[in-house]
Amino acid sequence: MRLTRRSVLKTLSLASCGIALGRSGIASAELPTHVMSTGNPVIPNVGACDPQVRVYDDHVYMYSTHDASLDNTNFLMNDWWVWHTTDLVNWEMVSVLKPEQTYFGKPSTQCWATDAVRRANKYYFYFSMGPEDVGVVMGDSPAGPWHDPLKHALIAKGSVKTQARDPGILQDADGTNYIVFGTFDYYISRLNDDMISLAEEPRLIHIANPQGPYGPGKTDDKPFLHRRGNKYYLSWGCYYAIGESPYGPYECKGSIIQSDRLAPEFRDVSRWKGPKVIPAAWAPKDWLGLDRHGSFFELFGQWYFICNDQALPGTSPFFRNAVLSYVRYKQNGEIDPVRITTIGVGQYDARVGMDATDFFKSSGAVVRERSDGSFEVGELKDGSHLIYPKVRNLKAGSRLTISGRSISTERAQIEVRRGDPTGRQLGKTEVAHGSAQRSGPWQISIPDVRGTDDLCIVFRSGSRSSRELAAIEHLSFT
């Protein structure tokens, strides 16, 4: 059954999900159930962390753990959360799973990392019961209500030669489902069609040249698997490796978080080393890469990475936020270091402009690497469009400048419309023809733009041909 907005709102009311609006550290009246993000972090200062995102029929669900209080001096986590959004800006808490609802049967402060998946119109929510076990509950909606079909752990302590925790799920293109888990050494197993039993004994994954926040030769906890094209990506926080099979072997490619790609606000690691200090025994070598539990996902043709962060005020190593970034893949399949900004994703600031690759929706477009290592949006043909919603700080009489290059020698136009390709036309310009590879920039007057507006860039060809018209790199406003 395909999810619709109406069915989601009907099914995912707080009452139907059995949410209790109280938690350690925050009074019931203070607990937000709706959050409109103004950028990164996406759901600030409530302890939503270890984010695992799944997309079902264009609806986005974040399955997260929940740091109980800013006063934590260790990982104190009493339940698991599910958050829902359709635009990565407006978030609603739609479910709470408590350990009492699982085989564990009683309260716990060790409700650790999770993941989820859909199969045959059923939803499966996998969780760590501390460092000991991996359990699973199932439901008829992405947010439950949940029940435990096994009444015991899916993967129990002692099953493998590492801690049996931190599950990640890969649903491959042929419908086969895999579970990966472990700490420092990762194991993988195919799931049976019932999704609550293993089809084989877990296999150890081999990673060539592993590294992580503790230095060369050592990975981390919380593995995650995703696939793009014919390549499989095994990640642990912000570190990742590439393989040709879910089972590996994998080759480590390093970290996608680098200091020069982070806004200054996210470079401060003093909270890691401050009063609520990370234990000295952990001895991390890469502080910026420490505890970046997260996941990759695709929505409307755009790839994203979401992970933990504890750089901003109101956080600590034991009371964490989640931040979102766009993901760009290089021509060889490697991942370009991500940019983490205060603006976040799904919304934009006209004062700083935006890279063309940071669209929210696209049709008939491809993000590709240029010869100099930068990125552009190409394969823009007649009818191709890019949507950038919630562009704020626009001024009446604005002018949009698009940097890029013409590919075709035929006559073409760029239109700016409100919302989508059928929306009101705000402005247009002609892409000069007669000299292929002619560079922009192209300037478009948009006098009737609103202070915050949803902009759609549409490409038109007079001949309605299927030839590539242009490639673009950046949008700016004056």
Structure confidence at residue 421 (pLDDT) = 98
Of the pLDDT bands very low, low, confident and very high (cuts 50, 70, 90), residue 17 is very low
Among the ranges given (267-271, 349-353, 393-397), the one the predictor scored with the smallest mean pLDDT = 267-271
pLDDT tens column, 104-158: 999 999 999 999 999 999 999 999 999 989 999 999 999 999 999 999 999 999 9
Residues 6+ apart with CB under 8 A from 128: 110, 111, 112, 113, 114, 134, 135, 165, 166, 167
SS (H, E, C) the chain: CCCCHHHHHHHCCHHHHCCCCCECCECHHHCCCEEECCCCCCCCCCCEEEEEEEEECCEEEEEEEEECCCCCCCCCECCEEEEEECCCCEEEEEEEECHHHCCCCCCCCEEEEEEEEEECCEEEEEEEECCCEEEEEEECCCCCCCECCCCCCCECCCCCCCCCCCCEEEECCCCCEEEEEEECEEEEEEECCCCCCECCCCEECCEECCEECCEECCCCCCEEEEEECCEEEEEECCEEEEECCCCCCEEEEEECCCHHHECHHHCCCHHHHCCCCCCHHHCCCCCCCCCCCEEEEEECCEEEEEEEECCCCCCECCECEEEEEECCECCCCCECCCCECCCCCCCEECCCCEEHHHCCEEECCEEEECCCCCEEEEEECCCCEEEEEEEECCCCCEEEEEEEEECCCCCEEEEEEECCCCCCEEEEEEECCCCCCCECCEEEEECCCCCCEEEEEEEEECCCCCCCCEEEEEEEEC
Q: What CATH class does 5-346 carry? A: mainly beta
Contact 319, 67 (CB under 8 A): yes
How many other CB atoms sit within 10 Å of the CB of residue 332?
Answer: 9
Contact 96, 81 (CB under 8 A): yes
How far, in Å, CA of 445 to CA of 429, rounded?
9
Of the pLDDT bands very low, low, confident and very high (cuts 50, 70, 90), residue 13 is very low
Which among 169, 96, 94 has a CA at the least distance from the CA of 134?
169
Reply yes or no on whether the pLDDT at 6 is more than 60: no
| End-to-end CA separation in angstroms for the chain | 46
Reply yes or no on whether the pLDDT at 175 is more than 80: yes
State the span(s) of the chain assigned CATH 2.115.10.20: 5-346
Reply yes or no on whether the pLDDT at 14 is more than 60: no
Structure confidence at residue 361 (pLDDT) = 98
Among the ranges given (197-206, 218-227, 429-438), the one the predictor scored with the smallest mean pLDDT = 429-438
Structure confidence at residue 270 (pLDDT) = 80
What is the arithmetic mean of pLDDT over 18-39? 59
How far, in Å, CA of 355 to CA of 375, rounded?
9
398 has which bridge partners?
446
In angstroms, what is the C-alpha Rg of the chain? 23
Reply yes or no on whether the pLDDT at 236 is more than 50: yes
Q: What is the mean pLDDT of the chain?
A: 91
54 has which bridge partners?
61
Contact 431, 443 (CB under 8 A): no
What is the arithmetic mean of pLDDT over 254-258? 98
What is the arithmetic mean of pLDDT over 162-188? 97
Structure confidence at residue 410 (pLDDT) = 79
What is the arithmetic mean of pLDDT over 390-396? 97
Reply yes or no on whether the pLDDT at 469 is more than 80: yes
Which among 106, 93, 160 has a CA at the least distance from the CA of 131?
160
Reply yes or no on whether the pLDDT at 31 is more than 70: no
Structure confidence at residue 16 (pLDDT) = 36
Contact 196, 154 (CB under 8 A): yes
pLDDT tens column, 400-437: 999 999 888 778 899 999 999 999 999 999 886 555 44
What is the arithmetic mean of pLDDT over 378-399? 96
Q: Which CATH number fits domain 349-477: 3.20.20.100, 2.60.120.260, 3.10.28.10, 3.30.70.890?
A: 2.60.120.260
How far, in Å, CA of 397 to CA of 218, rounded?
55
Contact 455, 404 (CB under 8 A): no
pLDDT tens column, 316-345: 999 999 999 999 999 999 999 999 999 999
What is the arithmetic mean of pLDDT over 229-245? 98
Query: Taking every pair of C-alpha atoms in the chain, what is the biggest distance, in angstroms?
Result: 73
Reply yes or no on whether the pLDDT at 29 is more than 70: no
State the span(s) of the chain assigned CATH 2.60.120.260: 349-477
State residue 83 phi and psi, 5-degree precision: -115, 150
How many other CB atoms sit within 10 Å of the CB of residue 15?
Answer: 6
Structure confidence at residue 10 (pLDDT) = 44
C-alpha distances (whole Å) from 351 to each of 444, 452, 473 are 16, 12, 17
Structure confidence at residue 463 (pLDDT) = 74
Amino acid at 165: R
Structure confidence at residue 90 (pLDDT) = 97
141 compared with 22, residue with greater pLDDT: 141
434 compared with 255, residue with greater pLDDT: 255
Q: What is the share, in percent, of the chain residues with pLDDT greater than 70?
A: 91
How far, in Å, CA of 308 to CA of 320, rounded?
6
SS (H, E, C) 195-206: CCCECCCCEECC
What's the pTM?
A: 0.93
How far, in Å, CA of 357 to CA of 378, rounded?
10
Cis status of the peptide bond prior to 249, with omega within 30 of 0: yes
